Amino acid sequence: MGALHRSFLFGLGLFALGREITGRVIKQVVDKAQGSRRDLATFISAVVAKGQREDNVWRERTDESVKRLLEATNLATRTDIRRLEGRVKTLEHRIERLKDQG
């Protein structure tokens, strides 16, 4: 089993564990709130905010991992391609100017 596949399975396992824990926590909050919609709404807002923060962190880490993987495999990134396209356009303009002069 490759490291990438193993990492994916680890993340999937954490996700499943997180769902179980979240379910228990929500049940506890609902039981404690006993119908208090304000307490429940505050809890839900806090959980959503935490989820957004975690999502941002996860996306940043994933982006960095993908960048490292691309660098290790020597594949061109969008930035590399755009930079090269700019250089090609510059050279095309120079060639056209030289043709016009000569």
pLDDT of residue 87: 98
Share of the chain above pLDDT 70, in %: 92
User: Do residues 27 and 37 make contact, with C-beta atoms less than 8 angstroms apart?
Assistant: no
Instruction: Give the SS3 label for residue 76.
Output: coil
pLDDT over threshold 80, residue 40: no
User: Do residues 83 and 91 make contact, with C-beta atoms less than 8 angstroms apart?
Assistant: no
pLDDT of residue 84: 97
- Structural domain boundaries of the chain? 1-34
Question: Mean pLDDT throughout 78-87?
Answer: 95
Instruction: Give the SS3 label for residue 1.
Output: coil
Question: Whole-model pTM above 0.85?
Answer: no
pLDDT of residue 1: 66
51: tokens are 């989820």
pLDDT of residue 34: 62
CA 60 to each of CA 48, 49, 64, 83: distance values in angstroms, whole numbers, following the listed order: 18, 17, 6, 23
Question: Mean pLDDT throughout 9-28?
Answer: 75
pLDDT over threshold 70, residue 73: yes
Q: How confident is the model at residue 80 (pLDDT cuts 50, 70, 90)?
A: very high
